A and B are shown apart, each in its own frame.
Chain A
Amino acid sequence: MSKTDLIEKYFSNSLSPKEQLKFNELLHTDEKFKIELDFQKDLQKVIYRNQRNDLKKVLQNFEQHKPVVKLLNISKKWLVAASILLIVGLGYIFLKNDNYSSPDDLFVQNYEPYRNIVLPVARGATSNTIEQSAFVAYENGNYRKAINLFNSVPNKNDQYIQFYKAMCYMSLNKPKDAISLLKIITESDYNLNSGINFKELANWYLALAYLDLGEIERAKKQFSVIASDTDNVYKKEVSGKILKSLN
């Protein structure tokens, strides 16, 4: 084995015991060998410093753009979502007038599982974490699988996980299970850190879940919360309309 190979193996931590002996011997007897090794060790140290500084900058960047990065990502999606809602909403008004009918119809007309805006699934990307797999399942409408996966993520008690789990239950026609999850979210404080107002979203879906369950009084109460709460923006107008047709 050449001296170059020995040094290479040293850096890859793969010297065999026999090679290690040879390595040690050369270190004491071969001046050139030692100089070369020291040079490479110095180089390693310098690269470590460089990389550390780079990584530190990345982390400091995380720190500085903590909410902003997320909000930016979301706001674009929100814009798209908002414009879709507008188009759908306008079309809806033109086609439907506002002849809302039975609670069941209302539910069917209004319920749509909330989009995955937490971990958008890139096309063709492989899912590497449980959470990613869960969202892939969610996006594919594989709600039972998604629930199982959401139950096994390490942060399963996080608000957003709970929210999407509730979406799964609603889609599986299990409003009772959805309600118990959504209620907790609606009673929580708006968690600014997540950048997405899940409380507001939960308010809307909770109302729909009551509708689905046929609990009209509770549904009405919940829709009126949305329609009257000044802090609540999401689905405010629609809620007012539904409320009217329920009364």
Chain B
Amino acid sequence: MNPLRLLIVDDEADFVESLTKRLRRRGIACDGAGCGTEALARLAAAPYDVVLLDMLLPDTNGNEVLRAIKAQWPTTQVIILTGHASVEAGRESLTRGAAEYLMKPLEMETLFDKLTAHRGRPNGSRDSKGTSTGGRTDEEPFFSFQPIMEGTHQ
């Protein structure tokens, strides 16, 4: 199996760096992006299976990036991981097609489980680029609505 390709979008360089190092050890191909523009540029350059997206970015907010990703690369899974969580933003993200809405701080084991879980999804294939106008956009994105009020992670 090809390694999972992950794009980490977060303006905290320390976070991106440590997470990249740790995930690479676990066989995930990681890249980092410090802002929304950079993230979209990287996505345009190479396909990713999963995007780990922060909500508060220097140039825009996570939901805007999420919308852009889902519009162009509908099969790319987006997992929100943020310290700036709120019920409203969470609902919006999930409505816009985010696969998960997770809160910092999060243990590596949990995150790894989430990432690999989404890699296994049937629509997680990498040929999404350039076919955004195709029938795949009609497909139901993987949607894990988990009321965050419960505060539990399965």
Partners in one complex: no
Interface of A toward B, CB cutoff 8 Å: none
Interface of B toward A, CB cutoff 8 Å: none
